[in-house]
Structure 1
Amino acid sequence: MNSLFWLVAALLLAVAPAQGQLLPESKKEEAPAAPEWPEDSLGRRTPRGTVSGFIQAVANENYTRAAHYLKLDRTLKRKRGGPELAQALQRLLDVQGNIYPYSRLSEAPEGLVEDNLGPNLEKVGTATLNGETFDLILEKTEGPKGAPLWLFSSQTVQRIPLGFEPQESELLVDSLLPVALQENKWGGVPIGHWLIILLLAVLTYAFAWFVTSSLLYLIRMIWPKAGEEPTEGIIKAFALPIRLYLAVWIFVAASQQIGISIIVRQRFSEVTIIVGLAALLLLLWQLIDAVSRFSERRLTRRGNMAGVSAVLFFKRGIKIAFFAFGFIVLLDSLGFDVTAGIAALGIGGIALALGAQKTVENFVGSVTLIADQPVRVGDFCKVGDIVGTVEQIGMRSTRLRTLNRTIVTIPNGEFSSLKIENFAHRDQFLFNPTFGLRFETTPEQIRYLLVELRSILYAHPKVDPEPARIRFTKIGADSLNLEVFAYIHAADFSGFLEVQEDILLRMMDIIEASGTGFAFPSQTLYLARDKGLSEEKGKQSEEKVRQWRESGEIPIPNFDYEQIQKLRNTIQYPPEGSSVKDNEAPV
């Protein structure tokens, strides 16, 4: 008893420290709450806010405010004035600098973490001075209460020459403008800059159109296949997107070279992003159209209308997906928060998928039918327990015309999962009758029939001789059974019935000539008027079997190869007297 007490006590002591250690660990796992900083009046909490605020300040010619976006240590403040440095940075950006579009700048307080510049640095553009290009870097500093403030780094500010004045060759736009368009300003920029950049957009597109049209003409001259499908459709699909990309690239480069103000260029930077995105989506859109048109024509020539329906469905689905993707990216480029929208689309997509399970199942089934092609329009088949001819394979269901001339519609999801037996592609037809002979038939008569009936199979031109056979298979309750197994060559079921009819008639003649006959059902009563069996014919067949036996030529259990070759095609088919000529017989 004492030992049990001490064991329980030891367990309690072991558990108690463990519980004491779990509580602090659970506190450590709690995620720290995100700090809430007061809004910065200058919008410097994020890299995008800093760049946007600086551009807005210089547009308003408020260089004192613009200086607050520069990181100025005591040395810089003492040697250089903040407003003068802000104005010099604007002049440098006007003629020899470039800032990324706002959509490429981070809107998070921590900036872009994966840009390989460190946690407190952010690249926002480039500038060129004395032939040397350097990066424009923002640096994250701590403001009041540890709040982040993004400023142009001191290294970037030190590269700015105080009192910088562009050269005359860099002020091409100002040299072209009259005094009135230079003195009158809109948005902090001479009106002439706005007019020139609009004119530049038109000229660059016209130049890009000339270049791409000339290139297309040369391609058609050099490459003959350029005028054939699908090559022609693919080349046309690339024409307009390449023209837009070329126009945007020339526009951006030319606007910087002729000295368009950074304020104007930054306003148009989002437009260039949107045009580039539109060119990419347009390229994909036109490629889908070109490929789908080519596929539709090929499938139409083959008569595969179900495939055409699938192509059209896929084309519409992909286009809707591209449109949704482009719309989301466009909203993101314009500064809208699309996270909630994407989440809503995801939830809506799940709800739509759950509500359209049967529709999706039928669509997948139709894709399976088109890809695997177990049946085609016009095929005679058996699907489950339904027998009929396929009349239509749609995107949702398949229609069969039954033997009763009714229409059965089967959803493709169910159709693709059923057992399908297609009769339309048979290369041969099975001929497998069983002849039940009377019990009075003698063994010699059976031997005679085995030989003669088998001879018909080997001699008939429409019967495949390889698996052809006839065997005495069973002594039944009311008959002696001979089973025939052979394959008949025929183009269709109607041709098979013709050949089968001919063979059955010939075999009936052989059975009658043997002196026996077909068995009656056991329930049939024999009447006195029954003539019975022909003794004369029975003796004739027995005599012939005797002769075969004496000469050692009885072909049982099998014919030898030479006998089969002698018998091949010795039967006239169609039979003599038939109105069907030889060349009209079914193949």
Structure 2
Amino acid sequence: MIKSLSAVFTFICLLLPATAYSVETNSISIKDLADKQQANEDVINELTEEPGAGPYDEYNRSTPRSSLLGLAKAIRSKDFDLAVNYLDLRNLPFSDNQKNTKLTGPALAEKLSIVAKRAMSIDIQELSTLPLGHKEDGLPGYRDRITTLMTKDGPVDILMQRVPRGDGISIWKISNATVAIIPELNKEFGYGVIGETLSQIIPGYVIAGIELWQLILFTFLVLIGFVVSYLFTFLLINILQRNQKFNKSRLLKFIVGPLRLLIVVIFVRTTFDLIAPTIVMRAVSETKTILILAILWVLLGVVDFIIYRLADRMRNRGQKDSVVLLKPASTSLKLLLILIACITWIDNLGFEVTALLAGLGVGGIAIALAAQKSLEDLIGAIIIYVSHPVRVGDFCKFGNTIGTVEEIGLRATQLRTLARSVVHVPNSKFASGEIENLTQRDKILYRTRLRLSYETTSEQIKQVLGKLRELIDKHEYIDEKDSRVRFLEFGEYAQELELYVYIKTRDFSEYLAHREDVNLQVSGIVESAGTQLVIQAFDLQKDKEKS
């Protein structure tokens, strides 16, 4: 008994009920298959420990559940002559004679098995274990419902019926009302013309639940799909290669890989019904695993292509620094696409994704809080790259730090100071702080005070001012329009002149050289006027105290 029930388990698994059953497609999810497989396995294990109910019957047809299990065992072993004993062949609307082989009992049993594998879903737990069957199912007392099959004309009940055995004992068989519509059900859910032809030509071996002819036909469809994809992509490549804007190597990588796979998958899925898939095969197909992978591969290729084009445009516009932002942006977008693909696949398996999304939301909040500073620095880097307050190589001042920008990273900006040390400033602070870009100056201001002693006469001061203005007008690297020199004020210890000039250079080293030249000429002008510059006030005070 244990061996016989175990032997029919695989066939029973093909007749599972579907809580997520689709009327339009007669499909069932992988999760439902697994759940119902476990539930039916538990029922079968219980049956091995309990004696059969009702009167003894050679074919164990005393209850609806035991009769269906006996039918499943016969079909599993392909003993359709034995399976006929579980069909009620009385009062059929067509002739059942040996001349019409398509309508014989064994032929009807075989067609019923095909319809069951392809479209029926049965819950063993719902079948009655009582000799009289269910009493409160809305059906006549001599009938029990096995399952409801969704057809193009609407739902059809698959029934069992209690019939007389001929010796005063009643047994359960597949109702003659159901047997009568087997030919019509076979037209809708059978193998079809191609399947019936191949199943008669090719030996009926079964590999992993798939008949040999189905496997051969599926392989043939894949090969045809590859030929179709090759021809389509061949023409597409020839057309696109005429456009010089496209990179040929990158184009080939995208089209020959992901696009070709996607075309093959779409072709196979379009022609999938030709192999007359079972409920299990259709459930596996409805996970859309290969289709999701193909679409994901295409989208990842599209992201790479777009990023490549943007990088080229940025380089052509001189925005080389901004190109570094494209890599994290590309990575983030790819991770998002992979996450969406995984959630879609899990949903197709039949799992509830609402709880998963809620968990991801809570986890995302926790991660965002933990990585708040890092996110601020990343946003700061984006702001720096977009607004360009500084670029790599610029000489700038940030707070009390003066130095050259060596790197703008995703977390911090590196400044090489005048002391040759490296300061790392977090991007969040750097982007929101006051940055003085010294490199972007079109000229550099040199501002100083010339202190002449009170012994200097007004004529000497006029002479110094005149020659300094002449220096401003004639010096090659001084901007004479915005530069000036003025007798500013009478200081506590000296008469003060202000020299306010712009050196026409952006390079600080050049600025220092020109500043040195200006200082030397200013010193010569003061000396030629017969006066001198006064040293700092506190030094004068010390000299007076000593004297």
Task: Find out whether 1:453 has 2:471 as its counterpart.
Answer: no
Instruction: Tell me how far apart the structure 1 counterparts of residues 209 and 368 of structure 2 sit (CA, whole Å).
Output: 53
- Aligned twin of 1:570: none
Residue of 241, 246, 257 corresponding to 1:226: 246
Residues 80-117 of structure 1, C-alpha deviation per residue, up to 9 Å, x if partnerless? 9xxx9xx89x88x99xxxx9xx9xxxxxxxxxxxxxxx
For residues 359 and 259 of structure 1, do their structure 2 counterparts lie closer, same or farther at Cα, with a shift above 3 Å needed?
closer
SS at match of 1:377: coil
| Contact 2:453–2:495, Cα closer than 8 Å, also in 1 | yes
- Aligned twin of 2:276: 260
For residues 468 and 46 of structure 1, do their structure 2 counterparts lie closer, same or farther at Cα, with a shift above 3 Å needed?
closer
Higher deviation after alignment, 149-158 or 284-293:
149-158
**% identical equivalent positions:** 29
Q: Size of the alignment, in residue pairs?
A: 412
- Aligned twin of 1:244: 261
Instruction: Tell me how far apart the structure 2 counterparts of residues 175 and 46 of structure 1 sit (CA, whole Å).
Output: 33
Unaligned runs of 5+ in 1: 1-40, 63-77, 103-142, 530-587
Instruction: Tell me how far apart the structure 2 counterparts of residues 442 and 480 of structure 1 sit (CA, whole Å).
Output: 10
For residues 290 and 188 of structure 1, do their structure 2 counterparts lie closer, same or farther at Cα, with a shift above 3 Å needed?
closer
Give the letter aligned to residue 213 of structure 1: F
Instruction: Tell me how far apart the structure 1 counterparts of residues 28 and 492 of structure 2 sit (CA, whole Å).
Output: 106
| Contact 1:434–1:481, Cα closer than 8 Å, also in 2 | yes
Residue of 186, 197, 208 corresponding to 1:175: 197
Per the TM alignment, residue 460 of structure 1 is displaced from its structure 2 partner at its CA by 1.6
| Contact 1:45–1:150, Cα closer than 8 Å, also in 2 | no
- Aligned twin of 2:58: none
Per the TM alignment, residue 430 of structure 1 is displaced from its structure 2 partner at its CA by 0.9
SS at match of 1:432: strand
Residue of 277, 298, 307 corresponding to 2:292: 277
Give the letter aligned to residue 434 of structure 1: R
Instruction: Tell me how far apart the structure 2 counterparts of residues 525 and 248 of structure 1 sit (CA, whole Å).
Output: 97
Per the TM alignment, residue 170 of structure 1 is displaced from its structure 2 partner at its CA by 6.3
Instruction: Tell me how far apart the structure 1 counterparts of residues 456 and 243 of structure 2 sit (CA, whole Å).
Output: 83
Task: Find out whether 1:502 has 2:517 as its counterpart.
Answer: yes
SS at match of 1:392: strand
SS at match of 2:390: coil
- Aligned twin of 2:4: none
Residues 347-388 of structure 1, C-alpha deviation per residue, up to 9 Å, x if partnerless? 111111111222222222222222223222322222211122
For residues 155 and 349 of structure 1, do their structure 2 counterparts lie closer, same or farther at Cα, with a shift above 3 Å needed?
same
| Contact 2:393–2:406, Cα closer than 8 Å, also in 1 | yes
Per the TM alignment, residue 432 of structure 1 is displaced from its structure 2 partner at its CA by 1.8
Instruction: Tell me how far apart the structure 2 counterparts of residues 52 and 176 of structure 1 sit (CA, whole Å).
Output: 24
Instruction: Tell me how far apart the structure 2 counterparts of residues 42 and 493 of structure 1 sit (CA, whole Å).
Output: 82
Residue of 303, 322, 331 corresponding to 1:316: 331
Give the letter aligned to residue 289 of structure 1: D
Give the letter aligned to residue 359 of structure 1: S
Per the TM alignment, residue 245 of structure 1 is displaced from its structure 2 partner at its CA by 3.3
Give the letter aligned to residue 245 of structure 1: L
SS at match of 1:400: strand
Per the TM alignment, residue 404 of structure 1 is displaced from its structure 2 partner at its CA by 2.1
SS at match of 1:463: coil
Instruction: Tell me how far apart the structure 2 counterparts of residues 475 and 53 of structure 1 sit (CA, whole Å).
Output: 99
Residue of 425, 431, 441 corresponding to 1:410: 425
Per the TM alignment, residue 306 of structure 1 is displaced from its structure 2 partner at its CA by 6.3
Give the letter aligned to residue 349 of structure 1: G
Q: What pairs up with 1:405-554 in 2 under 5 angstroms?
A: 405-519=420-534, 521=537, 522-523=540-541, 525=543
- Aligned twin of 1:395: 410
Unaligned runs of 5+ in 2: 1-14, 34-67, 76-91, 95-107, 122-136, 139-146, 157-180
Instruction: Tell me how far apart the structure 2 counterparts of residues 369 and 355 of structure 1 sit (CA, whole Å).
Output: 23
Task: Find out whether 1:216 has 2:237 as its counterpart.
Answer: yes
For residues 457 and 305 of structure 1, do their structure 2 counterparts lie closer, same or farther at Cα, with a shift above 3 Å needed?
closer
Residues 416-471 of structure 1, C-alpha deviation per residue, up to 9 Å, x if partnerless? 23322222222111122221122233333333333332122112222112112221
- Aligned twin of 1:537: none
Instruction: Tell me how far apart the structure 2 counterparts of residues 175 and 491 of structure 1 sit (CA, whole Å).
Output: 87
For residues 523 and 246 of structure 1, do their structure 2 counterparts lie closer, same or farther at Cα, with a shift above 3 Å needed?
same
- Aligned twin of 1:344: 359
| Contact 2:27–2:279, Cα closer than 8 Å, also in 1 | no
For residues 410 and 302 of structure 1, do their structure 2 counterparts lie closer, same or farther at Cα, with a shift above 3 Å needed?
farther
Q: TM-score under structure 1 normalisation?
A: 0.58
- Aligned twin of 2:226: 205
Per the TM alignment, residue 187 of structure 1 is displaced from its structure 2 partner at its CA by 9.4
